Amino acid sequence: MSSSSFLFSNGVILHPSDAPPVSTFLESHPGAYTTTRTHNNASFLLFWDRHLQRLANSARILFESKPDFLFESSKSSFSLPSLPATSSSRWDSTVRSLVNDALSEVVPVALGEKRVGEELAVTTLVTGNLEKLKEIDCVGGDGFSALLDVRVHVQPYVLPAFGFGVNGAHLAVVGRGRDVAAAKYSNWVRLRKGLEKLRPPSVTELLLSNDGDQILEGSITNFFVVCRKFQI
């Protein structure tokens, strides 16, 4: 796999020599994020509409209930002005527009560096801009989109070979569920490091549960269970 990662941030494209690894990128900024990849020789993004919907919904949830997980500030503590609720449709349309504009800047550059057999992993982060928020009289007005910063990280992705025993997942239930679990946020990348210290050597993914019985989600991946009934 090549190391040609790119980052679109604040209107500027950072090339491989300056673009950080995706984990470092997410740990460096608060906000709502989503990750997907391309398919069929990078001809389209998998489940992109669903990813955009969840990204917009996550940003809205953080804005309304956990703004310190959304807004970036140079101070360890800060106060926010009154944050009136904004409709889900407004969040959806604004986030879609900002994200698609950012993608149109960085994805063509990454495609130009893509090697044969590679796909692209795309991570999009939406962060609240505290300084712009303080300047906006009405969050629901024309300046709404100005309070959001969008960053897009793109890196090569090679599909793993499935169907072999060594590729099976090895799971362990470790840790309680996330705060604000309905939203996907970058702070979790840092917070889950404590759980990683509890990972047994052979385990490839940690599952979260509040009671040890009901599984909530994986610490990194989404998961599902397929139940098969056999007749004897």
- The residue extents of the domains of the chain are 6-157, 165-218
Confirm if 173 and 215 have CB atoms less than 8 A apart.
Answer: yes
Class of domain 6-157 as given by CATH: alpha beta
pLDDT in tens, the chain (232 residues): 445 899 999 899 999 999 999 999 999 999 999 999 999 999 999 999 999 999 999 999 999 899 999 998 766 556 666 666 678 999 999 999 999 999 999 999 999 999 999 999 999 999 998 877 766 655 555 567 888 999 999 999 998 776 555 567 788 998 899 999 999 999 999 999 989 988 888 898 999 999 888 889 999 877 666 777 666 5
Task: HSE, CB side, 13 Å, CA atoms: give it for residue 79.
Answer: 2
Tokens of 175: 């840790």
Instruction: Read off the pTM.
Output: 0.88
Give the number of other CB atoms < 10 A from CB of residue 15: 12
Which pLDDT belongs to residue 151?
97
Which pLDDT belongs to residue 129?
87
Residue identified by tokens 């495609």 is: 111
Confirm if 173 and 207 have CB atoms less than 8 A apart.
Answer: yes
